[in-house]
Amino acid sequence: MSSTTLLVERLARNSYGKILASLTSITQDISEAEDALAESLQKALTKWPIDGIPERPEAWLYASAKNHIFDRLRHLKVETASTETLLLRIEESIEDSSREGIRDPRLGLLFACTHPAIEESVRTPLMLQTVLGIESKKIACAFLASPSAMAKRLVRAKEKIKASGIPFSIPPNEILSERLEHILDAIYAAYSLSWDSLEGAEYKMKDLNEEVLYLSGLLAEAFPREAEVLGLSALITFCESRKNARRSPEGDFVPLENQVIHRWDLAAIARAETTLRAAAELRLLGKFQLEAAIQSAYCSERLSGQDTRQQRKMLYEGLIAIAPSIGAELGRCAILAEIEGPKTGLKELQRLDPRKIEQHQPYWVLMANLYRKNLDPIQAQRCFHKAIGLTCDPAVR
């Protein structure tokens, strides 16, 4: 694969949402912007090997996409007042973009995707695709839908935004918190996808976690008085602080309890602690703050040697009380097993709804480990085999 192709692929991963949001802020049409950006990326693959890579590749893609939109509109047979206005707006901005780079209007696109006119079940998938550039096939897999059905839902949502004239802007304060909740859930979903992705896999999303970290920080900067916005930013920063320790130098997967502390990013942990304290001072408790607090307690235990198991147990119980989830339940079971022994953990695991855990890999990993600690190798092996079947990562397997 040529260096030009690799660069274009990296730009498609890292800059897709930023460029698309910038285009959409002008066109007010997500599909139009997507088509123009795809054309621009294809043009880069053919022109850059001949003409050389431009000094500002991202700005080049943006300007090229806007030129594509501009040319298409000029050749329309029917001219309307709105088309004239759009042409003027694009024409005025083309020169600036190639010279100065592009701004980052993704907040406006995020809020457009969470507008009440958009079906609630499609808001998160829409944000994952438009703002973070995740393919509809990957989104379909994550949301247990067929690729064709998910693609149709996303197309309908984009058409709804265009037809309804949904604004690409931050909403009024009276509805801000409600809309932010959907955005935070989407960003966390994107981070979960990046966490499960593989280097070198079909979906090359190894840089997605950095993009999500940036977006969470962007939100925290924009809304410093929203406790859950700060909570999510702290949570992702805590998780990212350990990224260098998750794999050995040979590429092997390293479980959390075996990670080498000196490979953690202590400066990132300190930033996360500061952000979490700022959230706590607002006295509006939420699920992301509790999850961040669990991360904080674990980091504190590993760094100081102080036992935080009871504290983490209480935090998981609080999380289950306000935002029940299978992940929170598993966390509580794991902590109970640490405190009271594997038999207690196994007993609590067996109480969970079988429909929710059948395809949930962390459940089977935890179950296998507790059976192993309970000296039941046959059941442990059965659960490990089930867990192995639920992952594609050779190192994790």
Q: DSSP letter string over 124-152?
A: HHHHHHHTT---HHHHHHHTT--HHHHHH
Q: What is the pLDDT of residues 249-263, one digit of tens each?
A: 888 889 888 999 999
Per-residue confidence (pLDDT) for residue 18, from 0 to 100: 83
CA distances from 322 to 147, 309, 318, 319, 353 (A): 33, 20, 6, 5, 19
Q: What is the pLDDT of residues 278-316, one digit of tens each?
A: 999 999 999 999 999 999 999 999 999 999 999 999 999
Three-state secondary-structure class, residue 42 = helix
In the beta sheet, which residues pair with residue 247?
A: 253
Q: How far apart are the first and last CA of the chain?
A: 28
Q: What is the pLDDT of residues 13-59, one digit of tens each?
A: 778 888 888 888 777 889 888 899 999 999 999 999 988 999 899 88
Q: What is the pLDDT of residues 129-164, one digit of tens each?
A: 888 778 888 788 777 788 999 999 999 999 999 888
105 half-sphere exposure, CB direction, 13 A CA radius: 19
Tokens of 57: 């590749």
% of the chain surpassing 70 pLDDT: 88
Three-state secondary-structure class, residue 396 = coil
State pTM to two decimals: 0.79
Q: Is the CB of residue 22 less than 8 Å from the CB of residue 40?
A: no
Burial class (CB in 10 A: 0-12, 13-18, 19+), 177: middle
Please state, rounded to an integer, the average pLDDT across all residues of the chain. Answer: 85
**pLDDT band, residue 362 (cuts 50/70/90):** very high
Per-residue confidence (pLDDT) for residue 194, from 0 to 100: 67
Q: Is the CB of residue 364 less than 8 Å from the CB of residue 389?
A: no
Per-residue confidence (pLDDT) for residue 314, from 0 to 100: 98
Per-residue confidence (pLDDT) for residue 203, from 0 to 100: 40
Tokens of 107: 């907040």
CA distances from 167 to 116, 134, 245 (A): 12, 23, 42
Q: What is the pLDDT of residues 321-347, one digit of tens each?
A: 999 999 999 999 999 999 999 999 999
Three-state secondary-structure class, residue 103 = coil
Neighbours of 238 (CB within 10 A): 24
Per-residue confidence (pLDDT) for residue 96, from 0 to 100: 45
Q: Is the CB of residue 69 less than 8 Å from the CB of residue 90?
A: yes
CA distances from 294 to 20, 231, 241, 315 (A): 35, 11, 14, 6
Per-residue confidence (pLDDT) for residue 342, from 0 to 100: 97
Separation between Cα atoms, residue 202 and residue 198, nearest integer Å: 8
Separation between Cα atoms, residue 243 and residue 189, nearest integer Å: 18
Per-residue confidence (pLDDT) for residue 323, from 0 to 100: 95
CA distances from 84 to 38, 80, 95, 96, 305 (A): 24, 6, 18, 20, 67
Three-state secondary-structure class, residue 247 = strand
Would you say residue 75 has pLDDT above 70?
A: no
Cα of 193 vs its chain's centroid, Å: 6
> Considering only CA atoms, which of 153, 149, 125 is closest in space to residue 139?
125
